[in-house]
A and B are shown apart, each in its own frame.
Chain A
Amino acid sequence: MKNLKFILVLVLLTLGFSSCSSDNDDNILVINPLEEYNLISKIEDNGHHIELYAENQDFIIGYNEIMIRIKDEVTGEYFSNPTISWIPMMHMMNMKHSAPKSNLSIMKENNTISKGFLVFQMASNSEEFWDITFNYKIDGKEYVTTQVIDVKAPKDKRQQVTSFLGNDETKYVLAMVSPKTPEVTINDFKAVLFKMEDMMTFSVVKDFKVGIDPRMPGMGNHSSPNNKDLTYDETTKCYIGKLSLTMTGYWKINMTLFNEVGELIKGEALTEEQESSSLYFELEF
């Protein structure tokens, strides 16, 4: 009996070591690299399983970071270095539109996983729905599949994406990327800004500036010190700044958007009379 236990331990240890060392040269992993994430959608088509992972339990309105793996239905093996592109589509009562998105790129840490993001401006409902079409290439062969997904409002119903018509008569979508878990501290504040070229095309807007003024409407609309406005970062293609939250609770992050020459595109600066901006995010924690 004792020997058996010993052998078991030995086997487990060997397994553990081999899995650790196999990271680079073997694509099949014993330990799931996406363990911390939730499988939010699974498509079975073309003899493949396309798995979509995210931090949330569901697709939600706003910024969604998504990781994708494609598995061979027969062997159960994940394909390495697939080329995948995606098109999200909202099917409304009398029209269709897409959503801002990034390209999918293979993760450095694991070449079976492709990573990207989608920004949903609205939730699915009984009459209107979202789907995602995947075009992907494996071993030189191209495949297509479409899956209906369910986009939900975030649990706290707080606004973390906003689409609006700017003073320059252009439609924009601004979505908050982080803080995902806000804390009482100076948080890294990140957002993505897209210009709506047409119903199907969204392009990243560069070199604008977003003034931020976080407020607590429930507490005399007070602000916080040492915030840093969002500025464009070329490497991440995101707008990056700092957001100070001096206590937990409901915060409204009032914003003003300026174009590259400093003209106000959207939002109002806050004063005694102007208690909030028409451009804002919400956070509650």
Chain B
Amino acid sequence: MTIIKCAHKVFTLPMAWCQPTIKWLTQWFVILGMTNITAQELILPQDSIITVNLDEVILISARKTLDYHRQAKPLSTLEEYLESSKKVTMVKRGAYAWEPSLNNMFSERLSITIDGMKIFGACTDKMDPITSYVEVSNLAKAYVASGQQGAKHGSTIGGAIDLQLEKSDFRDTGLQGGVETGFESNNEMNVWGVNLDYSRSNFYIDADLSYRKAENYSAGGGEEVAFSQFEKFNVAINSGYKLNEHQSLAASIIFDDARDVGYPALPMDVSMAQGVITSIGFEQDSLFGSLFNWNSKLYFNTITHIMDDTNRPDVPIHMDMPGWSDTYGFFSEVRSHIKKHSFLFKLDGYYNKSLAEMTMYPNVPEELPMFMLTWPDVRTVNVGFYVEDEIGLKGSTLKVATRLALQNQDVADEFGLNSLRIFYPEMQKSKTRFLKSISGQWHKMWMPWHLNVGLSYGDRAPSVSEGYGFYLFNSFDNHDYIGDPELANEKSMEVNAKISWKKEKFKLSAEANFFHIPDYIIGEVDPNLSVMTIGAEGVKVYKNLEYANLFNTSLEMEYIPFSQFKWTSLLSYHRAVDQHKENLPFISPFSYRSSLTYNKGSLSGTIGMTGAGKQVHYNSKFGEDQTKAFTVFSLSLGKTFNFNNDLMYTKIGMENIFDKKYSTYSDWKNIPRMGRNFFVTVSYAIN
């Protein structure tokens, strides 16, 4: 215990802490061999030098690189990995399917893709962000791009997360396999994973299978959080075949099936959430002229989401709420270098069908069930063209990018159209929007200084819920939401800047971005409307605000006193208001994290701390209250063992060491986060 307390002291010390302390600590850490849990180290800059892109890359799989020590917590959920990003925070409605946010913006303002494929969740209550339909075992990396820098895969305001699938990719490694297992004490989660890969220079096939099952977790102090259990099964197969030296085909399928998922912060659970994600791709190393790396993909995915309230006591009325979302899409991209320009051209398109319904069973048995379409079978067609050009200038780099897209939304279901026409009698069945994005990002270097400056404009169409939602209940602010098909596109004008100072042992960077968002889409109370959901306070209709302003800033530090040690810290501050200077909901208070990592040979270890200040700016109109300050600590220790050719890696760790009971600003209805938790993972790789 004393050690941990000392460590705590270290993190709160000013940066110029004195040498003796380090040495003293070093000895202890060598013994403890801790690894990072807040996982600062997971975030690899794309290059050793900061490039013009401010993308973050989060390493998820260590399978191909055998770079196990870089993983904070193998077999943790994808959401935990994403949370280790500097810009990503998570909205939690339970232990499963956290919703990522970027720059304090959520799903509808983000472009979230899997290997460039568009996927849309099928839940009207945002229980299934698309990150919940994959497993860490499917993925190699996650690219996180802020603001319009994420426009490559689709229109966005807040940024993009692209999850890259793990592939053997014609590495001549032959047959390889691995078994992984993990256990977490707090919610008795068991995780099993098996993978088998066969890869030659002209053919590969990878298969992985994973299963996890968790019981209810306990908050700090030991209180059990009812309905926080979940169970998930995932299997994925990836294959590639080289037609010849220049051309190759690839195909992938992911089947993901979650059952009996509890959402303690919501009034309902999920009996089944199932996703099938498939694609076939074609790659050719050159096209014509100076075009090279021609990469095309056709894809299809289907999501089925079945909500369930039958396990809940005292529901005022039982209801079935299934939802379906099917997406068909393609993209084709090619690169080109002409003199100082390196271009990327990308044409993409998708067709999505979103349908969700609600059947309520009256307590009077002879009455007929009540039925409505909460998503009226909205068919979205979106075709976009993206070009980026990275221009090498004297001593600096400029990247300009633009996306132009045409989107049409059509309400295919007559019943649903008639339902919406109750609110909007003049509503048209179909609506076309033109979407555009343009951004410029400039990078200049005067060693050891780096400066990144960006300026951009972009817009987005309303989401299916915002445009066509019909009595969607939001349990956070306790209101029913109605979409508005005539909403204007939400626009964003963004400036960002990052200044870094880098020396071999010390890196310091300060970063800020500012979004001015005219026609910001948010729900506003319509006092004339009558609530549908029993117990709801009122009805909100999605509206365009005049504008909203969002500001995010962070300070990051990395210090490597000795080659085996790395100390990283991150401080961030966020602020967002509308045109009346009223706070926007779900904006992070001042937050911080810090970790010290030890890494030498087969041994690795981390001690970490993360926390946030008291939430000063919140908005009770959106169900928010003041979230208290908290600090939690974690530590882990990892070791690699060699058996002949095989490799075994084990990691043990403890999270929320002091069993602190806390919740963050983004925890739905203040649902407490997990209390003290021990975890063990064992990975065995057969080469």
Which chain A residues have a beta carbon within 8 Å of chain B's beta carbons? 183-186, 216, 218-220, 222-226, 244-250, 284-285
- Minimum CB–CB distance from B250 to chain A (whole Å) comes to 45
- Minimum CB–CB distance from B486 to chain A (whole Å) comes to 15
Does the CB pair A222–B371 fall under 8 Å?
A: no
Q: Which residues of B contact A225 (CB under 8 A)?
A: 422-423, 528-530
Q: List which B358-402 residues lie within 8 A (CB) of chain A.
A: 358, 360, 362-364, 367-372
- Minimum CB–CB distance from A165 to chain B (whole Å) comes to 29
Does the CB pair A226–B369 fall under 8 Å?
A: no
Choose from A218, A223, A247, A250 the contact partner of B372 (Cβ within 8 Å).
A247
Does the CB pair B418–A185 fall under 8 Å?
A: yes
Does the CB pair A218–B317 fall under 8 Å?
A: yes
- Complex alpha-carbon distance, A156 and B256, angstroms: 44
Chain B residue at minimum C-beta to C-beta distance from A184: B419
- Minimum CB–CB distance from B212 to chain A (whole Å) comes to 37
- Minimum CB–CB distance from B411 to chain A (whole Å) comes to 13
Chain A residue at minimum C-beta to C-beta distance from B419: A184
Is B415 an interface residue, CB under 8 A from the partner?
yes
- Complex alpha-carbon distance, A185 and B415, angstroms: 8
Does the CB pair B419–A220 fall under 8 Å?
A: no
- Complex alpha-carbon distance, A284 and B532, angstroms: 17
Choose from A218, A222, A224 the contact partner of B422 (Cβ within 8 Å).
A224
Is B299 an interface residue, CB under 8 A from the partner?
no
- Complex alpha-carbon distance, A244 and B368, angstroms: 18
Q: Which residues of B contact A248 (CB under 8 A)?
A: 368-372
- A220 in contact with B471 given A184-B418, A249-B371 (CB within 8 Å): no
- Complex alpha-carbon distance, A222 and B367, angstroms: 16
Is B509 an interface residue, CB under 8 A from the partner?
no
Q: Which residues of A contact B470 (CB under 8 A)?
A: 246
Does the CB pair A218–B367 fall under 8 Å?
A: yes
- Complex alpha-carbon distance, A225 and B528, angstroms: 8
Is B421 an interface residue, CB under 8 A from the partner?
yes
- Complex alpha-carbon distance, A134 and B211, angstroms: 78
List 25 A-B pairs, Cβ < 8 Å.
Answer: A183-B415, A183-B418, A184-B415, A184-B418, A185-B418, A185-B421, A186-B425, A218-B317, A219-B360, A219-B362, A219-B532, A220-B316, A224-B422, A224-B530, A225-B422, A225-B423, A225-B530, A244-B422, A245-B422, A246-B471, A247-B370, A248-B370, A248-B372, A249-B370, A284-B367
Q: Which residues of A contact B471 (CB under 8 A)?
A: 246
Give 6 nearest A-B pairs by CB, closest first: A249-B370, A185-B418, A223-B530, A218-B362, A220-B534, A247-B372
Does the CB pair B533–A220 fall under 8 Å?
A: yes
Q: Which residues of B contact A184 (CB under 8 A)?
A: 371-372, 415, 418-419, 422
Q: Which residues of B contact A246 (CB under 8 A)?
A: 372, 419, 422, 470-471, 532
Chain A residue at minimum C-beta to C-beta distance from B370: A249
- Complex alpha-carbon distance, A249 and B361, angstroms: 9
For the complex, would chain A's binding face be called helix, strand, loop or mixed by DSSP majority? loop
Does the CB pair A284–B368 fall under 8 Å?
A: yes
Q: Which residues of B contact A247 (CB under 8 A)?
A: 358, 360, 370-372, 419, 532
Does the CB pair A220–B531 fall under 8 Å?
A: yes
Given contacts A218-B363, A219-B532, A249-B362, 18 further A-B contacts (CB under 8 A): A183-B418, A186-B425, A218-B317, A219-B317, A220-B531, A220-B532, A223-B530, A224-B530, A225-B422, A225-B423, A225-B528, A225-B529, A225-B530, A245-B422, A247-B360, A247-B372, A250-B368, A284-B367
Q: List which B524-552 residues lie within 8 A (CB) of chain A.
A: 528-535
Chain A residue at minimum C-beta to C-beta distance from B526: A225
- Complex alpha-carbon distance, A224 and B360, angstroms: 17
- Complex alpha-carbon distance, A219 and B415, angstroms: 20
- Complex alpha-carbon distance, A154 and B532, angstroms: 28
- Minimum CB–CB distance from B491 to chain A (whole Å) comes to 29
Choose from B370, B422, B425, B529 the contact partner of A219 (Cβ within 8 Å).
B370
Which chain B residues have a beta carbon within 8 Å of chain A's beta carbons? 316-317, 358, 360, 362-364, 367-372, 415, 418-419, 421-423, 425, 470-471, 528-535
- Minimum CB–CB distance from A228 to chain B (whole Å) comes to 11
- Complex alpha-carbon distance, A220 and B423, angstroms: 20
Choose from A183, A245, A249 the contact partner of B369 (Cβ within 8 Å).
A249
For the complex, would chain B's binding face be called helix, strand, loop or mixed by DSSP majority? loop
Q: How many pairs, one residue from A and one from B, have CB atoms within 8 Å of each other in the complex?
A: 84
- Complex alpha-carbon distance, A248 and B370, angstroms: 5
- Minimum CB–CB distance from B267 to chain A (whole Å) comes to 14
- Complex alpha-carbon distance, A44 and B322, angstroms: 56
Chain A residue at minimum C-beta to C-beta distance from B417: A185
- Complex alpha-carbon distance, A266 and B560, angstroms: 84
Q: Which residues of B contact A183 (CB under 8 A)?
A: 415, 418
Q: Which residues of A contact B415 (CB under 8 A)?
A: 183-184
- Minimum CB–CB distance from B489 to chain A (whole Å) comes to 26
Does the CB pair B534–A219 fall under 8 Å?
A: yes
- A249 in contact with B360 given A185-B421, A218-B367, A224-B422 (CB within 8 Å): yes
Q: Which residues of A contact B371 (CB under 8 A)?
A: 184, 247-249
- Minimum CB–CB distance from A221 to chain B (whole Å) comes to 9
- Complex alpha-carbon distance, A250 and B371, angstroms: 11
- Complex alpha-carbon distance, A218 and B368, angstroms: 10
Does the CB pair A185–B367 fall under 8 Å?
A: no
Q: Which residues of A contact B529 (CB under 8 A)?
A: 225
Q: Which residues of B contact A216 (CB under 8 A)?
A: 370
- A285 in contact with B368 given A225-B423, A246-B471 (CB within 8 Å): yes
- Minimum CB–CB distance from A102 to chain B (whole Å) comes to 31
Q: Which residues of A contact B362 (CB under 8 A)?
A: 218-219, 249-250
Chain B residue at minimum C-beta to C-beta distance from A285: B368
- A185 in contact with B370 given A220-B535, A222-B530, A249-B362 (CB within 8 Å): no
Does the CB pair B418–A222 fall under 8 Å?
A: no
Q: Which residues of B contact A185 (CB under 8 A)?
A: 418-419, 421-422
Q: Which residues of A contact B425 (CB under 8 A)?
A: 186, 226
- Minimum CB–CB distance from B7 to chain A (whole Å) comes to 53
Q: Which residues of A contact B532 (CB under 8 A)?
A: 219-220, 222, 246-247
- Minimum CB–CB distance from B362 to chain A (whole Å) comes to 4
- Complex alpha-carbon distance, A220 and B371, angstroms: 15
Q: Which residues of B contact A226 (CB under 8 A)?
A: 422-423, 425
- Complex alpha-carbon distance, A223 and B415, angstroms: 19
- Complex alpha-carbon distance, A223 and B531, angstroms: 8
Q: Which residues of B contact A224 (CB under 8 A)?
A: 422, 530
- Minimum CB–CB distance from A267 to chain B (whole Å) comes to 19
- Minimum CB–CB distance from A220 to chain B (whole Å) comes to 4
Q: Which residues of A contact B534 (CB under 8 A)?
A: 219-220
- Complex alpha-carbon distance, A248 and B425, angstroms: 19
- Minimum CB–CB distance from B98 to chain A (whole Å) comes to 31
- Minimum CB–CB distance from A7 to chain B (whole Å) comes to 44
- Minimum CB–CB distance from B122 to chain A (whole Å) comes to 20
Chain B residue at minimum C-beta to C-beta distance from A246: B422
Most chain A beta carbons < 10 A, residue from B363, B368, B533:
B368
- Complex alpha-carbon distance, A223 and B527, angstroms: 13
Chain A residue at minimum C-beta to C-beta distance from B364: A218
- Complex alpha-carbon distance, A183 and B422, angstroms: 11
- Complex alpha-carbon distance, A223 and B534, angstroms: 12
Q: Which residues of A contact B533 (CB under 8 A)?
A: 220
Q: Which residues of A contact B423 (CB under 8 A)?
A: 225-226
- Minimum CB–CB distance from B424 to chain A (whole Å) comes to 9
Q: Which residues of A contact B368 (CB under 8 A)?
A: 248-250, 284-285
- Minimum CB–CB distance from B631 to chain A (whole Å) comes to 43
Does the CB pair A186–B422 fall under 8 Å?
A: yes
- Complex alpha-carbon distance, A184 and B416, angstroms: 8
Chain A residue at minimum C-beta to C-beta distance from B415: A184
- Minimum CB–CB distance from B478 to chain A (whole Å) comes to 13
Chain A residue at minimum C-beta to C-beta distance from B422: A244
